Structure formats: structure tokens, C-alpha cells
Chains A and B, each alone.
Chain A
Amino acid sequence: MPEYYEFIIKGCLDPGWSGWFAGLHLTHQGRDLTLLSGTLPDQAALHGLLERIRDLNLTLISVTCGGSNIRNFDKER
């Protein structure tokens, strides 16, 4: 079942990484956090994504699974 997820990562990732992270939307939060957001088709995709985060030695701060509302982070920039 597709779900909407938000991952918060330490550090500022270039938007070019979006393709690497299953096409999730990439925005910077504050000075040194990156937010990956979007829908993933299932649990397998979720775990695959977590592996990619791990493989780049990124520090994962949080994962949340939300409803289908899409928050607009552009406003916060």
C-alpha cells in the first residue's frame, strides 16, 4: 500500500540525489538538515531506501509515515 513518508537527514544533500532516493522530493530544512518526502509503494521500497541512506553513511534523524496530505515545504525556505 503506498504511503507518504518523510525522512529527515543530517547534512545538506544536493537535489540531484533525488533520483537515487526513489524520486523523493528533497528540501533543506534549517541550516543543516535535509528532508526527503514523498510516497513509497510498499515496505520493500521503504527498506530499500533506508539501505541507501545507510550506504552513503548519512545520519538518519527521523522517519515518519503520514497520511496522504502533502505539506508544502517551499514556504518554509
Chain B
Amino acid sequence: MNNTDQIIRTKLHQPFIRAGLVSRPRLQERIVQGLRGPLTLITAPAGFGKTTLITSSLASSRMTAAWLSLDPSDNQAKRFLIYLTAALQGVDHQIGFESAQILAGMQQTPVEEVLISLINDLDAAGIEIVLVLDDYQVISNSEVHEVLAFLIEHCPQNFHILLSTRSDPPLPLTLLRARGQMIELRAADLRFNVIEVDQFLNQVMHLNLDPDSVAVLAERTDGWIAGLQMAALSIRNRADISGFIEGFSGTNRYILDYLSEEVLSCQSEEIRHFLLHTSILERLCGSLCDAVIGGASNSQNTLEQLDKANLFLIPLDEEYHWYRYHHLFADLLRTRLHQSLNAQDIYRLHQRAAEWYEGNGLIYEAIHHASLAINNEYVERLIEQNYMKLTSRGESPAFLFWMGKLSKEAIYKRPWLCIYAAMSSAWLGQLEEAEVLLAEAEKNIQVEDPDPNTRRMLATQTYVKSRVTAMRGDLHKAIELNLYAREVAPTNPLPLRLMIGVGLGYEYFLVGDLDNACKLLIETIQLGRTSGDINNTVATSCVLARLYTVQGLLNKAYATYQDAERLIQEGGGQQLGAVSIVNVGMADLLYQWNHLDDAFTSINQGLEFIRLWGKADDTILAYLVQSRILQAQGNKTAALEAINKASQVIRFSGVFPEARDALMAIEARLQLSLGNNLAIDRLIGSLEARSCKENFFTFENELAHLTLARAYIASSQLEKALRLLSGMEESARSGGRRGRLIEINILKALALQAAKEPMQAEAALLESLALAQSEGFVRLFLDEGQPMRVLLAKKAAHDCTTPLGDYAVHLLSQFNAEFPARQPADEKGSLTGELVESLSRRELEVLHLMALGRTNLEIAGQLIISPGTVKAHTANIYRKLDVTNRTEAVAHARHLGILP
């Protein structure tokens, strides 16, 4: 297993209880009681035996427990949630499966969504589960506190949180106490009483002390377990026990001072050295200790010795590979360390630790120690070298966290940090921020005679700049930039070349240079397959498929999606984000072929995890595909909802022209179908203004022109329409854009029909049929509605024997299947006042909320289930009620008396 997994395991490992401890049934019972409710709080300073008490209580409660030991680096919502999910998954693999995917995929963490998913899973788990959060006092981040508050607030009946901390956490404790939702144990409860002190000293440590000595020690330590342990260790090594007790009780020195000196003085010089030097580490293993101490040291051996001698070493896993010091002991050792070594020497220790961690692939820990070594250069280098790797695993927020610790000046000084920050911003569509960072980076890159590292830097910076430039709309400049990036980029690393490849290929596509685009995209896919970089390869495949669609090659496009699907499966099928965009692409093609049910299934699958992909452009395109499918299914309300979602996304994020134009085109078609003349005139105005440039009939302008042509037709400006369409036709033909050519000819036919030129109209129709037939286009025709139906009927009437005539007949039959598709609800024969399959209780709840006008998201929030689950329920409701949309569902339900 890799090293990161090892560390994770140590955090999730329930500490091992040593045999022969003082049993505290009274307290254990209280904890077991507390575990019936949502929160059990144990608040006491270090050394009060909290962890021991918790582990022994869990053993007697027989509840399944998940354990999470917290440390200061968990002060970040995403990291906290990752570990939380990992801990719960250890209990039951089903719990947190979806959450883990969401966390793995996204740049930004949708905290509430992750929590709701977790809570649902916990609820469904069916067993009593305890989550122990140990050392909660390290958490100071308010977002993490909010996560916990949310969990407690929405705690399922079978889930119980046990918080162990040194200070009261900033949760609504008073409220929880008042509601009886919390049991707490505090220091006063945890102190050993005299009986327990006696048990510990005499029965566990076998010291054979008389009652008076026991009483003195109990008094002096005030029942503090750590103090008692120290005292016991000191006594164990001495001959003159009464002398010790007298000295101990007679001094007012801080007892740990006194006792630790005693304990340490009994150790060999070698052990003392070991303890002090390794005290800087949060976790210890043999090889790490060797590295920190330097020289020839058999640290593994030493650790085992210390463990046996009960010297405050706590094993962290079952193999006894990793340990940590008891916190207090570590604090004591560190103080002494600072007293015996100067600052430089201590930095050196941290440096050695950082290097060991780096060498073993544990980058966060390496960065932590590098910053403690006050070695900013090293910190920055670690971030630079590992950014790409960790970003591809969705961990860039953590990097942004580390970068947030560096000042802006520090970032600006180091071009790599600027470039990576710019890349993140660009991916999130935050263009202004990206531009500022790119400018700063540029200042510091030496362009003349660059070495390989500088070339990589230059290539990356130019790639990001190209992306931003393309999103700003200047595609030709963007292509120039990416060509340069391609030239400058070294052969390795591969991910960079892949990114440039798909970036440049996409830009060629957007500008209409389909030949170059195709060549480059295919090349990039080949490269991608060998590299194992599934995400970039799939992204490239999807662009290629969309290119084939524009070329009218639907079957080739579909095959491309299938290849991509296979690639993902072969790689293990983990990349749910990549699976999503493939599903969206396939949905689009199925829609074109009018396989609406399959398209519907596909788009729903795609939308389920599209957020894991995280790119605004693909999200928008997904919603638009969904809206077209819903529209074709007659579900106008939902179709509009989907369009709204798409426009929401575009409000907050920069996008490429493809998504922007697609949204514009669909919104415009909606306007046109509503027949609002004012709106149509306005639309025409804005589109005409836009195309007032040279290079008129380009691919870049094609969608806008198609929309303009439709608007002209709708407002009966047929001459203008035809003029526009003929210019577009020439351009599409020479550009090899057969798919668009079909659409252009369809519009031409409709315009000519409206202009009362039936012969020419038929010619245009024939042209479009000829182009469309071999690839099975259906929706392009169906989406034009009645006028197209009339045209097709005319054609079919006098020709149903030629292949084209056949095709026309086929299209007509699809029309008939759709219009009239639905009879009014109350004419359906199957209605007898009863349902064939009755609604489940949950489905009824959803239906009630739907009747109140709640959106899916609101319903999800109210019922505390995931939006995906809501969708599944509504699909079932529609099926059972034999309807296709909300309005019908509610109406039908009322008719049946299911709703009042």
C-alpha cells in the first residue's frame, strides 16, 4: 500500500488498549449511556486518560466504531471531510462511497452536499455507529466547526459522535445540554479517586506501596493520571521509595518538571538523545527516526524497547510500524530539546524529517516540516514539484491552502507558483485573477536560451494564457499561443503535452479548422492512451466526437464515445467525472437519433456526476442537452429549468465560445417559439450587430447565424434569411461541416416554402435528406415542427419508393408517433381510480412537496436526501402515475384522490 494510505491508516486506527489497566466501570457506563444520543463530549486536559477510557468503553458497548485522530493539518474542511469519509468507509464500504467520489473529483468542495450524502448513507446503514473524534482541540477552523455542527444537527438515530478534546468546542453546548442531546464528562469526572490510584500503583504497576504513600501521591498529583504514571515510573527505578515520596510531596515544582527529570535521568545517554531528537515528530517509525537522528542508529529497535518499557509511546497501527509520543511527554521533550539545542540545530532536524517525508512520497508532511525548518525555498519547491500530480487527484485545494500561507510577494517572486495558481483560476473560470497571475509569472521567466525547466515553465504559462485568451473570445491569438507552447514544451512531462494537445485541438475546432483539429486530437488521444492519463484522454475524445457531429458523422462520433468508455473501464472505472461527460455526449447523439428514452437515461446518468468533472463548459452543455431531450418529451417546465441552470453556471464562470453560443442559441429558439414579436426584433438587432465584422461566414459565427436565420423566418423576412443561408451554405460546404449543412438546407427549405417557392423548397429538402440519411438524423427535422411535417408529407405523397422518399416516410412516422403523442389525462382508459403500483411513503412525501411547488433541491434539503435520490423518486412517481412531468403528476394525483 502506498505511503499516503499508511498515514491515513494511522489516523483511523483505534489506539490499542494495554492489558492490565485500571477498570472504571462507572465512567464506562456513563459513556455507553451517552452513546445513545447524538453527542458525547469528553473534555479534559492532556493526560487524563481520555483515550484509554474511550477505547475501553467502546469495547464494552459493542457498537461499531469509526476512529479519527485529528491533528492541526485537518483544519481545512475538505481534508477533514476526506478523513471523516475514510473513517466511516472503514465501518461499511457503502457509507461515504458517493461522498468520497465527490471529494476526489472537485476542485471546490460542496460541503453540504457531501454531508447530506454521508448522512443518508449512515441512515441507511442499519447499524449503530459511533464516530470518535480524538484531539478535537486542534481544530480552530470555523468551517470545520460548522461541518460538525451540521452533522450533530442532522444526526440520524443510529449515529453517535464522541468528541474527545482538551477544551470545550465552539458548538451550541448549552442548547444540546438543555435538549438532553449531549452527555459530558469533564476533568473532575476523570480524575482517579484514591481507590483507583491504589489500584493503579499497586495492582497495575506492582509497586507495593502502603496506604499512606498512596494517599500522598494521590494528593500531590490530584488524581492526574499522567502525573501518576510518571511518578510510578520514577518509583519503579529506585531503591529508596520513601525518600522519593518525601521529596516529591515536599516540592512545589511543577510535577511534570520534577518527574520527567527523574524519568529521563534513569535512561541511557543514547535513549535520552533519541527521545529528545525525535520529539519533533508527530509520528515515528524506525526509518524516519534514523533519518532525523543521523548516523548509524537502530531506531526500530529503540522504539520497540521504549514501547515495552511503557515510556509513553503509543502504537498507531497493528503492525507496530508507526508510533507517537503521548502528547504531554512530547511537549516535555520538546521543551528540553529547545533548552539543549540552538535554533539552527533544531531546524536541521526538521529539514531531515522533511527530506525523509519527501523521499517517501508524503508531501504534506514534508511541507509541514520544511516550513518548521524555516526553509521557504524548500517549501516552494515541494509545492511546485508536486502540484500537477496532486491536482490530478483533486487535491489542489490543499495546495491552495499551503500557498495561502505564503505571502503574495513570495508567490509573485516564484513563477511556478504563479503559473499553478493561474491554472487553478483558469479552470474555475476566474479570468481576471488568472490574468494577473500570468502577468506576474511572465515577468520572471527568462525567454532567451531557456533550459528544460524554463521551457516547461514557459510552455505551461503560455498554455494557461491561451486558455484564458480563448475564453475571452480571441481564438486566433489563442491558437498562436498554444502553437508556441507546443513548440517550447519539452517531451516530458506527458500531462503537459496532453493538455496543450487537447487545448490547441479544441481551439482549432472552435475556429472551424476541422482538419488540423482532427489530426491533433487523434494524435493526442494516441499519446493519452499510452500515458494512463484517463481524464485528459477522455476530454480529448469528447471534443473529437463533437467535431465529428459537426461534420455530420454521427456514427463515428458514437464510436469515439464508446472507445472512451472502454478506456475508462480498462483503467478501473473510477473516474466518474470522465464517465459523466461521455454519457452526456452519448445522450446528445441518442437525442439526434430520436431514441428519447435512451437519451433520457443517458443524460440523467451524465448529470448525476457531472460536478465531479467540474468544468463549467461541460456542465452547461450537459444542461442544454438535457433541456432539448425534455423539450422533445413534452416536458416544457423541466426543459426551462435546465436552461436556467445552464445560465446560472455561466453567470459565475468564464467559458469558451462553444458553450456560450450554444446557450444563446437555445434561449433564442425558446423566444422564437413563444412568438413574441418584440423579443424577436430585439434578437435580430443584437445578432446583426454582432456579425458586423469581416470574415462573416465563419464557423465561429455559425450558430449565431443559424439563430438569425430562424429569427428572420419567424418574422417573415424571407429574402434576408435566404441571402444569409446561401452565404452560410458555401462556408459550411467548404469547411466540411455536413451536420451544419443539413440544418442550413432545412431552414432554406422552410424559408422557400414560406416564400411560396415549392419547387425550390423541395430541392433544398432533398439536399438535406441526402446529406442526413446515412447517419440517421431525425431530430433536426422533427424539431422544426409542423412546417417541416407538411414539407415531408408532400415529398412522401409523390415519392415513397426512392431511398430518399423512404427516409421522408420514416421521418413522417416519427412525427406521427410524437404529435399527437398525449391524450388529455382524463381520457386515458387505464384510469379506474386506482394505480397499478401504489406510491411508497417516500414517494408520497416527494409528491406532496412537489404539489407545494418545491424544487428538487429544496425537496432534497427538506427530506435530507441527495438530489439524485429525489430524481429517482420523481422518475418512479411519473412512471406509476403514467405522466411525464410535475404538473401532470400533481393534477393526476389530485384526480385520483392521492393528493387533497
Contacts and interface: CB of A to CB of B under 8 A. Distances in A.
Interface of A: 11-14, 16-17, 19-20, 31-32, 34, 51, 54-58
Interface in B298-333: 327-328, 331
Nearest to B138: A51
Nearest to A17: B335
A11 B166 contact: no
Nearest to A16: B339
B638 interface: no
Given A19-B339, A51-B137, 9 more contacts: A13-B253, A14-B253, A17-B257, A17-B335, A20-B334, A31-B252, A51-B167, A55-B45, A55-B166
Interface residues of B, number: 24
Given A54-B166, A55-B166, A57-B226, A19 B252 contact: no
A42 B31 CA distance: 39
Given A55-B45, A57-B46, A57-B47, A12 B253 contact: yes
Given A55-B327, A56-B331, A57-B47, A12 B339 contact: no
A20 B513 CA distance: 67
A11 B257 CA distance: 10
Contacts of A55: 45-46, 166, 327-328, 331
A11 B253 contact: yes
Contacts of A31: 252
Contacts of A20: 331, 334-335, 338
Contacts of B47: 57
A11 B335 contact: no
Among B226, B254, B255, B327, max chain A CB count under 10 A is at: B254
Contact of A57 (B224, B252, B257): B224
B256 interface: yes
A58 B257 CA distance: 12
B45 A11 contact: no
Given A55-B46, A56-B328, A16 B335 contact: yes
A17 B46 CA distance: 18
A54 B45 CA distance: 7
Interface of B is mostly: helix
Nearest to A58: B254
Contacts of B338: 19-20
Among B166, B255, B335, max chain A CB count under 10 A is at: B335
A31 B253 CA distance: 10
A34 B252 CA distance: 10
Contact of A56 (B251, B253, B256, B339): B256
A54 B327 CA distance: 12
- 6 closest residue pairs by CB, A with B: A57-B45, A32-B252, A11-B254, A12-B252, A20-B335, A19-B338
27 contacts: A11-B253, A11-B254, A12-B251, A12-B253, A12-B254, A13-B253, A13-B257, A14-B257, A16-B335, A20-B334, A31-B252, A32-B252, A34-B254, A51-B167, A54-B45, A54-B166, A54-B167, A55-B45, A55-B166, A55-B328, A56-B254, A56-B256, A57-B48, A57-B226, A57-B256, A57-B328, A58-B254
Contacts of A19: 335, 338-339
A14 B254 CA distance: 8
Interface string B23-62: 0000000000000000000000111100000000000000
Interface string B224-257: 1010000000000000000000000001111111
Interface in B324-352: 327-328, 331, 334-336, 338-339
Contacts of A11: 252-255
A12 B331 CA distance: 17
Contacts of A56: 46, 254, 256, 328, 331
Nearest to A50: B167
Contacts of A58: 254
A54 B336 CA distance: 18
Among A17, A19, A57, max chain B CB count under 10 A is at: A57
Contacts of B339: 16, 19
A17 B166 CA distance: 21
B280 to A, nearest CB: 14
Contacts of B335: 16-17, 19-20
A4 B785 CA distance: 81
Contacts of B257: 13-14, 17
A54 B257 CA distance: 15
A26 to B, nearest CB: 11
A7 to B, nearest CB: 14
Contacts of A57: 45-48, 224, 226, 256, 328
A69 B256 CA distance: 33
B166 A13 contact: no
A38 to B, nearest CB: 17
